[in-house]
Amino acid sequence: MAASARSTRTRIELGDRIKETLTERIFLDNDSTAVNIDLLLGLLTFLAWGHDHLLHGTAARLSRFTQLAMSLVFDLRLNKPPPDDPNMLPVGGNCLVPNDPARSLEERRAVLGVSSYFAQIDAMQWTPYMEECLDVLSRSAESPYDEMFAHQVKLQRIAGEVESARSTTTSPPAFYLTALQLKVNEVKAQISPHLQQEVPLLASIYYTELSMCGLALSKQNTSAPSFQQIGYLYTCLNTVKLAFENFFNIPLVEYSGLSFPFFTQVARYLIVLSKLSTLNDPSWDNNLARSTVDVLQVIDRLIHNIQRAKAADGEDCTGGPLDKSTRIFTSVRTWCAAKLAECGVEDVQGGNTGFQQDGSSGTQLEGLFLEEAWWRDSFDLLLETDIL
């Protein structure tokens, strides 16, 4: 109920009860059955849709709750195959070994869900058994969303490889792009026809591809010829355009139900588009970029849609996630308008936050996101890199 409640007050009250329950069952309860798959699934739901860190302005809780989820996975041994011997003693006194030697799909979904999230912490170590879980879900007929979730996990793993290549290697980033793009193309080829236009899946594809664009365009990639760099820029611009078109296909009534990880993807789109619109490179046509995707019109449309979605939810949701996101995007628009004015763009109104027609790199912008608890944890990794 905390994830689905419209009332901000109800969300906060239920969120406090959830945190009390988590504390009691994980740390205070001596019953080994207190930690189970239902507790883990509830925690994951609270993480993705509860927005507790936003409502209380405590971004660090994202990482703490994620670490708790990982601990539950280890306690339940969900990252490893069930023991061959059902009489095997548990590793720890409070570690419950399931009686059923066969993992349920819920258990497989849970371990993959925990493995696919990252913020200030390192992703959970991938195991051969988790690869098996991914394969099982890819072929599952129990839910139409199992296959889509499996593809999203694969794409998140590719995005993780991008970040690893950026931080751990001295080789030119472009060296890895062909192999990474082949992996993305392989995922695309495996998507069933009925899932190919699903907004969440397309969002994951664009997020991963923009991660790769950032790798290609980082300051490390000094060996790439200028014409190749321009090609990367145009690929990045086209991907951003498709990403926002995909986002605006979401009905307004669904905005309040979007998960926090989904909004972090939108934020990456916006940061990349803002930098493309103000890039100081003589070989790059900023005017063409802005005529392809106008960053101010995109932000105006975001603000307008969020305000309409909030109005439809009623006064009870005042002070909730939609209000917070409106303030964030308003601040970002002011920064972008000022930056565009510095670049000589005429008729830019920095204070305008109303809706305009749909139409088709800076640390200050990053600061606008980082000062907000809602974004800080999820953006630190992204914003500390040399994208564009």
Q: Looking at residues 70-85, what average pLDDT do you find? A: 89
Is the pLDDT at 93 greater than 60? The verdict is no
Is the pLDDT at 326 greater than 60? The verdict is yes
Tell me, what's the pLDDT at 197? 95
Two structure tokens written together for 39: 């507790």
Q: Looking at residues 15-28, what average pLDDT do you find? A: 92
In eight-state DSSP terms, residue 225 is -
Taking Cα atoms as reference points, which of 366, 381, 361, 281 lies closest to residue 331? 366
Is the pLDDT at 85 greater than 80? The verdict is no
Cα-flanking dihedrals φ and ψ of residue 296, to 5°? -70, -40
Following DSSP, what letter does each residue of 101-159 receive, concatenated? SSPPHHHHHHHHHHHT--SSSPPPPP-HHHHHHHHHHHT--S-HHHHHHHHHHHHHHHH
Is the pLDDT at 231 greater than 50? The verdict is yes
Is the pLDDT at 373 greater than 50? The verdict is no
Query: From residue 106, how far is each of 37, 268, 385 by CA, in Å?
Result: 8, 30, 35
What is the rounded distance in angstroms from the CA atom of residue 387 to the CA atom of residue 377? 18
Ranges of each domain in the chain? 1-84+100-137
Two structure tokens written together for 6: 């419209």
pLDDT class of 321 with cuts at 50, 70, 90: confident
pLDDT, one tens digit per residue, over 28-76 is 998 889 999 999 999 999 888 877 777 776 666 778 888 899 999 999 9
Count other Cβ atoms within 10 Å, centred on residue 207.
22
pLDDT, one tens digit per residue, over 131-158 is 999 999 999 989 989 999 999 999 999 9
User: Considering Cα of 354, then 355, then 360, then 363, what sign does the dihedral take?
Assistant: positive
Helix runs in 217-320, H state only: 226-247, 260-277, 286-292, 295-313
Taking Cα atoms as reference points, which of 309, 349, 348 lies closest to residue 325? 309
Two structure tokens written together for 202: 């397309």
- What 3-state class would DSSP assign to 181? helix
How large a percentage of the chain has pLDDT more than 90?
39
First vs last C-alpha separation in the chain = 41
pLDDT, one tens digit per residue, over 188-225 is 999 999 999 999 999 999 999 998 887 776 655 555 55
Q: Looking at residues 292-316, what average pLDDT do you find? A: 91
Tell me, what's the pLDDT at 141? 87
Q: Looking at residues 351-360, what average pLDDT do you find? A: 36
Taking Cα atoms as reference points, which of 158, 46, 14, 51 lies closest to residue 375? 51
Cα-flanking dihedrals φ and ψ of residue 90, to 5°? -65, 155
pLDDT, one tens digit per residue, over 151-189 is 999 999 998 888 777 777 666 766 778 889 999 999 999
The position carrying tokens 């939609």 is: 322
Residue 215 · residue 175 · CB < 8 Å: no
**pTM of the prediction?**
0.84
Amino acid at 43: L
Tell me, what's the pLDDT at 263? 80
Two structure tokens written together for 377: 């944890």
Task: Kindly calculate the radius of gyration of the chain based on its CA atoms and give it in whole angstroms.
Answer: 22
Tell me, what's the pLDDT at 178? 84
Top mean pLDDT of 83-87, 162-166, 183-187, 270-274 is at 183-187
Count other Cβ atoms within 10 Å, centred on residue 276.
24
In eight-state DSSP terms, residue 262 is H
Is the pLDDT at 304 greater than 50? The verdict is yes
What is the rounded distance in angstroms from the CA atom of residue 74 to the CA atom of residue 130? 13
In eight-state DSSP terms, residue 104 is P
Two structure tokens written together for 76: 């339940």
Is the pLDDT at 96 greater than 80? The verdict is no
The kind and range of the H/E element at 238 are helix 226-247
What is the rounded distance in angstroms from the CA atom of residue 248 to the CA atom of residue 87? 54
